[in-house]
Chain A
Amino acid sequence: MYDFAYTKPASLADAVRALGGADAKALAGGQTLIPVLKQRLNRPSLVVDLGGLGLAGIAVSTEAVTIGAATTHAAVAASARVQQAFPALACLAAGIGDRQVRNRGTLGGSLANNDPAADYPAVALATDATIRTSRRTIAADGFFQGMFTTALEPDEIITAVSFLIPQRAAYMKFRNPASRHAMVGVFVARGPQGVRVAVTGAGQDGVFRHTAFEQALEKSWSPAALDGVATPTAGLNGDIHASAAYRAHLIGVMAKRAVALAG
């Protein structure tokens, strides 16, 4: 790893200011950034540790679950209030990475990184979550802008994310047997914004909505409603693990299983 300067600001304003410098990089749980630095794939001159900003915490109302950006996946998974109000969200968090990754990795870090195989972008997009930052709020529909790309400015920090609680929801993923990352993950939700289906792991541009599935499930919320509904292979990843056609097939299988699980 190349060396860098390190700072751990105690206020959001100081953190934003530090990130405004040239080649500064924000550090949340570090479960992606540290491996990236170790491989010398990135060379920031300054690492700004967001761990001192007090951004962890979970609030649950009748309509929404709001989670602080620095909340770890383990904390979301173990939260009795999240399990009760929005079990599919707790379940998704419990399946990210492994136990040790979940003890460090954070919601804000996952969304800001927007890894094409990450799990959190799927639930954020499927519920049109509201992403609060140091300067504004951004709807998930406008947040994800392609692989490892988001609407965030370089000196903009996610502070919290609000998920509207769907009436029915579930997440199913097919893991790469070796890396355990999502080869395909599908989050289905039926809630205040109608039916939304978000797919992660499969798209060349990262997470995306499956509008054909959404229309079919609006008509009939059942796995059978997806019979014969095609998933175009254009824009899907193909690699040594799975061709684009195989991923398209998996999207249908995972979506059906998710609808069945959501009940």
Chain B
Amino acid sequence: MPQVSLTVNGKHATVEVEARTLLVELLRGNLGLTGTHVGCDTSQCGACVVHVDGQSVKSCTMLAVQADGASVTTIEGLAAADGTLHPMQAMFREFHALQCGFCTPGMVMSAIDLVRSHPEGLTEAQIRHGLEGNLCRCTGYHNIVKAIAAAWPLMQDRQPAIAAE
């Protein structure tokens, strides 16, 4: 069986898998990282989104062997060791950007990639368009959009600008 060596949330792992194993199956089954969800299994819902070498991808639509040598970040890899939430997680909590929570891991991972790739700023329309690959069946998009907008300044290197009097 093919061997896959990859880094997941900063930890190195070498796993033997069948060639047909999906990345999400490796993460959930072999590594026990069940925070990454499988919603539709047809590449549409985005519940399985993780970062591969910094880019958001649907881990149900990538073979585990294709991640050989890659650095993968899942929802479990976002919070600091002391439990401090990533700003995106904190804003999802602050703005109640979830109801049942099933889509949330994928939403958060997509949102972080979206913010990182728009250092110039993000409009509400860009956020909504940027979430095209993530479905929420609780119709919770509005608060998700608000949470991402609020997380954007927190994720920039600089401190949020203080409004002038």
B20 CB within 8 Å of chain A:
yes
**In the assembled complex, which residues on chain B have CB atoms less than 8 Å from the CB atom of A30?**
61-63, 66
A34 CB within 8 Å of chain B:
yes
A51 to B69, CA, bound (A): 12
Tell whether, in the assembled complex, residue B42 and residue A35 are in contact, meaning their CB atoms are under 8 Å apart: yes
**In the assembled complex, which residues on chain B have CB atoms less than 8 Å from the CB atom of A3?**
18-20
B62 to chain A, nearest CB (A): 6
Tell whether, in the assembled complex, residue B65 and residue A8 are in contact, meaning their CB atoms are under 8 Å apart: yes
- Most chain A CB neighbours (cut-off 10 Å) among B43, B46, B49: B43
Please name the residue on chain A nearest to B56 by beta carbon. A100
**In the assembled complex, which residues on chain A have CB atoms less than 8 Å from the CB atom of B58?**
100-101, 104
Q: Which listed residue (A34, A78, A98, A99) contacts B63, Cβ 8 A?
A: A34
A241 CB within 8 Å of chain B:
no
A74 to B42, CA, bound (A): 21
A183 to chain B, nearest CB (A): 16
Q: Which listed residue (A5, A27, A78, A99) contacts B132, Cβ 8 A?
A: A99
A135 CB within 8 Å of chain B:
no
**In the assembled complex, which residues on chain B have CB atoms less than 8 Å from the CB atom of A2?**
20
B108 to chain A, nearest CB (A): 13
Contacts A31-B61, A100-B58; is A49 near B66 (CB within 8 Å)?
A: yes
Tell whether, in the assembled complex, residue A99 and residue B130 are in contact, meaning their CB atoms are under 8 Å apart: yes
Interface readout for B120-141 with A: 1 if CB under 8 Å, 0 if not?
A: 0000000000101110000000
Tell whether, in the assembled complex, residue A100 and residue B57 are in contact, meaning their CB atoms are under 8 Å apart: yes
Please name the residue on chain B nearest to A49 by beta carbon. B66
**In the assembled complex, which residues on chain B have CB atoms less than 8 Å from the CB atom of A148?**
none
Tell whether, in the assembled complex, residue B62 and residue A34 are in contact, meaning their CB atoms are under 8 Å apart: yes
Q: Which of A1-47 contact B (CB under 8 A)?
A: 1-6, 8, 27, 30-31, 34-35, 37-38, 47
Please name the residue on chain A nearest to B19 by beta carbon. A6
**In the assembled complex, which residues on chain B have CB atoms less than 8 Å from the CB atom of A34?**
22, 43, 61-63
A47 to B63, CA, bound (A): 11
A3 to B2, CA, bound (A): 12
A97 CB within 8 Å of chain B:
yes
Please name the residue on chain A nearest to B114 by beta carbon. A99
**In the assembled complex, which residues on chain A have CB atoms less than 8 Å from the CB atom of B43?**
31, 34-35, 101
Tell whether, in the assembled complex, residue A6 and residue B61 are in contact, meaning their CB atoms are under 8 Å apart: no
Interface readout for A133-175 with B: 1 if CB under 8 Å, 0 if not?
A: 0000000000000000000000000000000000000000000
Q: Which of A174-230 contact B (CB under 8 A)?
A: 180
Tell whether, in the assembled complex, residue A6 and residue B57 are in contact, meaning their CB atoms are under 8 Å apart: no
B41 CB within 8 Å of chain A:
yes
A79 CB within 8 Å of chain B:
no
A38 to B55, CA, bound (A): 23
Contacts A35-B42, A101-B43, A103-B56; is A4 near B20 (CB within 8 Å)?
A: yes
- Most chain B CB neighbours (cut-off 10 Å) among A51, A100, A103: A100
Q: Which of B1-59 contact A (CB under 8 A)?
A: 2, 18-20, 22, 41-43, 46, 49, 55-58
A selection of 8 A-B contacts at a CB cut-off of 8 Å is: A3-B19, A5-B19, A31-B61, A34-B61, A34-B62, A38-B41, A74-B55, A104-B58
Report B's interface with A, CB cutoff 8 A. Answer: 2, 18-20, 22, 41-43, 46, 49, 55-58, 61-63, 65-66, 68, 110, 113-114, 117, 130, 132-134
The 8 closest A-B pairs by CB, nearest first: A98-B133, A6-B19, A98-B132, A103-B55, A1-B20, A100-B133, A3-B20, A100-B58
